[in-house]
């Protein structure tokens, strides 16, 4: 369980998204630091609540952006966000009940989820959102083959 460096590998190049990802990573890093300093449940729960709230806000913004660009994988992406929100909620619930025993597992899970999601699923929409693929083509992949040359 380590702090996450916001390196180029995690940058989508979409300014709004990158700055939100950075906030998310900062909150995660706060969680790591609080854990390393052995801060109590009260501090941990406060950071977790912020992480939970900010994740939801960020996912909403991201989904709105994907919708505006007619991203063809939007439904799948939305589902992944939903899965994460549910997992975090479950961890927060367990953490509130059972305390420190699951802190390590939880922080590991959150950190890994953030980096994996950004590097794989978020990177997959970059071409579509940054306009490198025309929206029509993104909506109907392969349709260009139907156009006579
Ligand atoms: Fe995402």
Q: Distance between CA atoms of 127 and 129, rounded to whole angstroms? A: 6
* Tally of domains in the chain: 1
pTM of the model as a whole: 0.85
- Cα 62 to middle of ligand 1, angstroms: 6
Per-residue exposure over 95-110, b if at least 16 CB sit within 10 Å of its own CB, e if not = beeeeeeebeebbebb
pLDDT at 53: 96
Residue 6 lies in a domain: no
Residue 111 lies in a domain: yes
- Cα 102 to middle of ligand 1, angstroms: 25
- Cα 137 to middle of ligand 1, angstroms: 21
- Cα 47 to middle of ligand 1, angstroms: 21
Instruction: Show the tokens assigned to 93.
Output: 């619930």
- Cα 99 to middle of ligand 1, angstroms: 29
Cβ neighbours around 49 below 10 Å, total: 11
pLDDT at 140: 56
Q: Residue 91: give the domain boundaries.
A: 15-146
pLDDT at position 15 over 90: yes
Residue 28 lies in a domain: yes
- Cα 60 to middle of ligand 1, angstroms: 9
Residue 7 lies in a domain: no
Q: Distance between CA atoms of 102 and 108, rounded to whole angstroms? A: 10
- Cα 107 to middle of ligand 1, angstroms: 19
Chain segment 32-90, per-residue pLDDT in tens:
999 999 888 888 889 999 999 999 999 999 999 999 999 999 999 999 999 999 999 99
């Amino acid at each position: 369980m380590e702090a996450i460096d916001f390196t180029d590998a995690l940058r989508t190049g979409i300014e709004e998204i990158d700055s939100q990802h950075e906030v998310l990573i900062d909150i995660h890093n706060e969680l790591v630091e609080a854990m390393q300093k052995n801060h109590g449940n009260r501090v941990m729960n406060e950071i977790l609540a912020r992480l939970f709230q900010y994740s939801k806000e960020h996912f909403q913004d991201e989904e709105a952006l994907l919708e505006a660009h007619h991203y063809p994988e939007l439904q799948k992406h939305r589902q992944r966000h939903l899965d994460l929100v549910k997992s975090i909620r479950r961890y927060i619930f367990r953490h509130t009940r059972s305390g420190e025993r699951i802190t390590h597992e939880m922080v590991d899970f959150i950190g890994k989820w953030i980096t994996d999601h950004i590097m794989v699923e978020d990177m997959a929409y970059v071409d579509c959102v940054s306009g490198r693929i025309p929206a029509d083509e993104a909506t109907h992949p392969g349709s260009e083959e139907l156009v006579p040359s």
